[in-house]
Structure 1
């Protein structure tokens, strides 16, 4: 059991030295522990190179069971503590920048006030974060197909639309058809060539329009500001555009067409598979689902 604890820590930290530091062992003690585990199991669990560690095929399967076993043990300790103390500890999560800024962050003061012993470390990053490699408890991702091997909870759906300022439309007119966007200055992400090819759907009819403009920005807040300043027609998530649209600062364009991007889809809170989710994480996920309106069933091998 103790060797499995060491094994899991080595995998999670990616090195013998960091695992030894976190466990309070010497590097040689960690190495001996892994050697004992491999001898006892009769298989190599780690493939060592001069630069990094990799799990063997058998090591991957053993790691998943060992991690689940340790999670169960930790859950048993936390369950017993529920009758005496509040949930506590740190939650490490990764979330796309715009979602974190506009959807998650506004609710954090209420969550932290309600649970004073729980801390949240939120990493706003649009890259695909790996729960194990990045030592995360939770990943918030936009996907219609949650990755196999993870569990999670649906939080809400992310949809996008096109918007412009009243001043811009007064000068350039409201487009009546997606093809008319070719005559407008369009504000898009600019990260990939596909970002300037806008896709529309109406009654099953799919239409792709190549747009152009003098300004592109891969930050949602910047595109919103550019739209408000009259720089053109810009793409924005509904959750970002809702308030300025209600206040009349921006106007929805081509609202009778569905605007589709690779950034549309279901928003999921995903976490490693376990039958016993730590109370602090369970509280946090349920809190987000309650605030964001998540109503779909969970994914994974067991319910939240």
Structure 2
């Protein structure tokens, strides 16, 4: 395919991405200020040029085809590169400005990052900050995310990584609960206790413990399960059982004595532990807004006690 044809494809590829993002020709046309029929013709030309069916059109909705999904992913990459081109000349010297989208696990976002939002926006009045709470996998390019925080022992490959700190899982109960039911001394003691787990999957009631060469996989049970850390903490405070928490969630309650850590000589294995990492797409010319955000959170989170 010659260069002229490739250049002519660029607007149609951009239109295709917007149609997929908006979910219909009508919504995309409204966003672009054109007619739905005009967009339909552009998509038809694109399909003809590529010799591939990209969208299945029904009376109720658009369905992206397998070929269309692959083209859409490439469109996201192209538009991300175009964004970097626009930012190229001013990225090193500009006043930090523009939109910045940040994703992080829900509990980490609300407990650790939320207190930094107002001071950051006050210091950088030309930056627009968008936060996305997500405990699942994040695709930075297709979801338009500039930077993602992860609590993990296995960071995503292909992204720039900056380690912020570490987080460990803590097993905690209220003093009243332990006074009534006794304190577990070894992981197998949990079989005789009420435990509060996430209830997200069929296996998250199985808690794994490691100490030296010893390993225990304990199928805990209890009458209460919730995948919200602060609600789970409330259950522990109310004496409903023993719960697992990232240490930044439980830090204040431990300091106040309203909860007690148990089996702290054992290492709990599971999600939301390991390194606290900040990841973003590789770029030679980092926008000033991203640079100052990374510097800001790195400075402030280094003072947050999350070390194991």
Measured against the shorter chain, the TM-score band is 0.7 to 0.9
Distance 2:183 2:224 in 1: 19
Aligned to 1:114: 123
Does residue 1:239 correspond to 2:253, yes or no?
no
Structure 2: distance between partners of 1:124 and 1:62: 24
Pick from 221, 230, 237: which aligns with 2:230? 221
Q: Partners of 1:24 and 1:111 in 2: how far apart? A: 35
Q: Please, which moves more after superposition, 10-19 or 191-200?
A: 10-19
Per the alignment, do residues 25 and 229 of structure 1 end up closer, same or farther by CA in structure 2, a change over 3 Å counting? same
Candidates 46, 61, 85, aligned match of 2:54: 46
**What are the Cα deviations for residues 177-214 of structure 1, in whole angstroms up to 9, with x where unaligned?**
11112222322223334232221011132101222233
Match of 1:2 among 5, 11, 23: 11
Query: Closer, same or farther in 2 for the Cα pair 1:87/1:26, shift >3 Å?
Result: farther
Q: Check the 8 A contact 1:71/1:274 in 2, yes or no.
A: no
**Match of 1:296?**
none
Tell me if the contact between 1:92 and 1:120 (Cα under 8 Å) persists in the aligned partners: yes
Would you say how many aligned residue pairs link Structure 1 and Structure 2?
A: 292
Q: Which moved more, 1:220-229 or 1:278-287?
A: 278-287
**Which residue in 2 is equivalent to 1:26?**
35
- Number of the residue aligned with 1:168: 177
* Alpha-carbon contact 2:52-2:67 (below 8 Å) kept: no
Alignment partner of 2:221: what SS?
A: coil
Q: For the residues of structure 2 that align with 1:13 and 1:274, how far apart are their CA atoms? A: 28
- What's the counterpart of residue 200 of structure 2? 191
- Is the 1:156–1:268 contact (alpha carbons within 8 Å) kept by the matching residues of 2? yes
Unmatched runs of 5 consecutive residues or more in structure 2:
1-9, 303-308
Residue 253 (structure 1) shift: 0.5
1:10 to partner: Cα distance = 3.1
- TM-score (normalised: structure 1): 0.78
- Alpha-carbon RMSD across the aligned residues, in angstroms, is 3.3
Structure 1 spans left out of the alignment, 5+ residues: 294-304
- TM-score by length of structure 2 reads 0.77
User: 1:299 is matched with which residue?
Assistant: none
The residue that corresponds to 2:305 in the other structure is none
Partner of 2:26: 17
How much does 1:276 deviate? 4.9
